[in-house]
Amino acid sequence: MTDQPIYQPTADVQKSDEVTEHPATRGQGGELHQEPAGDAPRLTTAQGIPVADDQNSLKQGDRGPTLLEDFHFREKIFHFDHERIPERVVHARGYGAHGYLEVTDAIPELTSASLFQKAGTKVPAFVRFSTVAGNKGSFDLARDVRGFAVKLYTEDGNWDIVGNNIPVFFIQDAIKFPDLIHSVKPEPDRGWPQAQSAHDTFWDFISLMPESMHMVMWTMSDRAIPRSFRFMEGFGVHTFRFVNAEGKGTYVKFHWKPKQGLQSVVWDEAVKINGADPDFHRKDLWHAIEAGDYPEWELGVQVFDHEFADQFEFDVLDSTKLIPEEQVPVRVIGRLVLDRVVDNFFAETEQVAFCTQNIVPGIDFTNDPLLQGRNFSYLDTQTKRLGGPNFTQIPINAPKCPFHHFQQDGHMAMQNPKGRAAYEPNSWAKGGPRPRPKQGFESVAEHNEGPKRRIRAETFADHYSQARQFYLSQTKVEKDHIADAITFELSKVEVPEIRARVLSHLPNIDKDLAQKVAEGLGMEMPEAAEPYRTPIDLPVSDKLSILKNGPDSIAGRKIGILATDGADAELVNAVKSGAESAGAMVEIVAPQVGGVKLSDGSHMPGNEKIDGGPSVLYDAVAVIVSEEGAGKLASMLPGKQFVADAFGHCKFIAYSDAAETLLNAGGVTDRDEGMIALKSASDAETFLEACVAMRFWQRAG
């Protein structure tokens, strides 16, 4: 074993902002054909070895496993994994909580995993939610993918389901992950932007990677700006395998479905929330758990066999594709409950180490090339980030079941084997642990054959059909948000050629979408990009929409009551008690944080001062003020913005008679059905019933 070489650049690259066509071309499913671009230096490894293909990892056959001998991929991902000390390179900003998984439906016919053998089985869990692109100090509501990583402490060891809140990903092969993340991170010559994809390098990369277009539809949708960790789905992303006691393997995809339904914010809210409360998601999770409103998700699985996989329109090993629930329904087998906040953020949330390779007997991998690369990358990342190979001895990472092995020494070793033998096999009577052939982990005996090649399977070649399906499955409001998001992001791209190249992909998804974005940018539509494989029309899938899968109550939501001295006590108490009875949280926003004196002389403590509690922090608002109080708020910018934003963001608004002055001052002169006048305490019930819809989207037109 030799020391790792120190990287020394061997050539100066002339700095230029000129955009050129990407020099790589490919018959999808065949070898890469690449010609030098002008005077560009040849791509090499850090050892100076010329690279022939930087798009695909080395595999055994075109759909086979990634090979460990791929030194270029190993070096590339190894260096990427070691770029940050000690912050995570990606998922740096995260928040976690403890809980448990309870099995509600035993499935021994599908898997021998111990936790799924009997309904009612409970195993401890730790979950970490995160953004991907920003650093630890960025804000919660960046437009970004959210990590949804679950560590299950089973009796057969730790099982990590390291997923996201989006079921697909940008790339098909892990060798491109460093390029993807480098493109979205701050541009190296200027060091910005932070936690944003709205810049040239990200969209330049995306425009040259058609396989990313499905994921782009998701990240430009409201899925990328969730209202709360509690109201978003989680996905295992990859296709895994269940393995039963007879050794039979069945394909499986994992889903986490929030019991309180899906919900997101709108972009203008996200921008304002990041200014008003950059820890919005963190506080939301903390306060919900502390209040006993424990977040809960159903664990569901999509299970299918080789026959389905062979007949499915796309390759089940392609992480840029999903399987619609209409084709393979999700079977609910458990529930995940988060019921305890951490004792120490650093010791638990920061030091927790998730690894996709952490699976238990009864679960197995597939040859998904993105998953294969992650299995290498995560262990290497945690070893570097946490200082050495003994990170598994940190309490948050240690198994809760008995564990025995011969690993010893190393940096910060707290546990070493006792006795004379530190090896296996040995002949000592008390020679330590021994393998258990009938209980231990075994992989499915899958047969793979084919030449060693850097290649992408033909079955991975359709890049637009599911992107189109996702877009067409949205409501009109959601489609508008996607078009607006793409337009906004591309408006921040300085190089016109990059904007045009992105635009050229959109007609392959939807011509109306392409035209809306082009008009929003003031650009002529370029010629559509020619897809390698012609997109096919797929059925609409309602499960892909947030608004079609929203909540059926206001439980877990937050209602803001803007009140002043002299506010009608009966109305304030009716809204407050009614909302709390329905499972919602209520905060009083007042001119002074000390609270207000209501009409009956009682004192109502305040939770927020008006300039620190804007309406963007709430799911719905009630404006219950006195005539004098309304006049004072109408002279204050935060007061006017409170009602103007609530109206502009299509929220349900309840208001007392005296609030008319403030509403008019805030430019809210229309009274639509999303505004409920509070004439008596009984009107509070009407308001709260309307709030179940979360937004009065008709206001958006």
- Among 49-58, 414-423, 490-499, the range with the most confident prediction by mean pLDDT is 490-499
Peptide bond into 193 cis (omega under 30): yes
- Range from 14-18, 507-511, 536-540, 688-692 carrying the lowest mean pLDDT: 14-18
Whole-prediction pTM value?
0.90
> Is pLDDT above 80 for 32?
no
Average pLDDT over residues 53-60: 88
Beta bridge partners of 636: none
Q: Tens digits of per-residue pLDDT, 145-187? A: 999 999 999 999 999 999 999 999 999 999 999 999 999 999 9
In whole angstroms, what is the distance from residue 537 CA to residue 395 CA?
50
| Residue 417, pLDDT score | 78
Annotated active-site residue in 72, 98, 158, 164: 164
Strands 249-258 and 240-243: what pairing? antiparallel
| Residue 9, pLDDT score | 36
Residue 107: name the closest of 91, 96, 121, 86 by CA. Answer: 121
Average pLDDT over residues 280-302: 98
Task: Reply yes or no on whether 426 is catalytic.
Answer: no
Number of CB atoms found within 10 A of residue 353's CB: 21
Peptide bond into 41 cis (omega under 30): no
CA–CA distances in Å: residue 474 to residues 256, 270, 417, 513? 20, 20, 57, 12
- 412 band by pLDDT with thresholds 50, 70 and 90: confident
Average pLDDT over residues 494-513: 98
| Residue 84, pLDDT score | 63
Task: Reply yes or no on whether 164 is catalytic.
Answer: yes
In whole angstroms, what is the distance from residue 685 CA to residue 579 CA?
9
> Is pLDDT above 50 for 55?
yes
The tokens describing 537, both together, are: 């029309």
443 and 364 in contact (C-beta within 8 Å)? yes
> Is pLDDT above 80 for 105?
yes
**Cβ-proximal residues to 612 (8 Å cutoff; 6+ apart), any chain:** 276, 593
CA–CA distances in Å: residue 244 to residues 31, 58, 251, 511? 38, 30, 12, 47
| Residue 225, pLDDT score | 98
CB-based burial, 443-460: b 16+ in 10 Å, e otherwise: eeeeeeeeeebbbbbbbb
> Is pLDDT above 70 for 576?
yes
Average pLDDT over residues 535-541: 97
Q: Tens digits of per-residue pLDDT, 429-473? A: 888 888 877 778 888 888 888 998 999 999 999 999 999 999 999
> Is pLDDT above 60 for 33?
no
| Residue 37, pLDDT score | 55
How many degrees, rounded to 5, is the angle at CA 160 between CA 140 and CA 399? 115
> Is pLDDT above 70 for 80?
yes
Cβ-based burial of 68 (10 A; exposed 0-12, middle 13-18, buried ≥19): exposed
| Residue 667, pLDDT score | 97
In whole angstroms, what is the distance from residue 169 CA to residue 145 CA?
9
CA–CA distances in Å: residue 460 to residues 181, 207, 318, 396, 467? 22, 18, 6, 38, 14
Cβ-based burial of 624 (10 A; exposed 0-12, middle 13-18, buried ≥19): buried
> Is pLDDT above 60 for 1?
no
| Residue 479, pLDDT score | 98
> Is pLDDT above 50 for 54?
yes
Percent of the chain with pLDDT over 70: 94
CA 398 to chain CA centroid, nearest Å: 25
Terminal alpha carbon distance of the chain: 66
| Residue 659, pLDDT score | 97
Indicate the CATH number of 553-700 among 3.30.70.100, 3.40.640.10, 3.30.450.20, 3.40.50.880.
3.40.50.880
Indicate the class that CATH gives domain 81-184+231-393: mainly beta
Residue 95: name the closest of 284, 275, 249 by CA. Answer: 284
- 18 band by pLDDT with thresholds 50, 70 and 90: low
CA–CA distances in Å: residue 361 to residues 364, 435, 436? 8, 14, 12
> Is pLDDT above 50 for 27?
no
Q: Tens digits of per-residue pLDDT, 615-628? A: 999 999 999 999 99
| Residue 19, pLDDT score | 61
DSSP symbols for 517-561: HHHHHT-PPPPPP--SS--------GGG-SGGG--SS-TT-EEEE
**Structural domain boundaries in the chain:** 81-184+231-393, 553-700
| Residue 414, pLDDT score | 85
120/391: higher pLDDT = 120
273 φ, ψ (degrees, to nearest 5): -65, -40
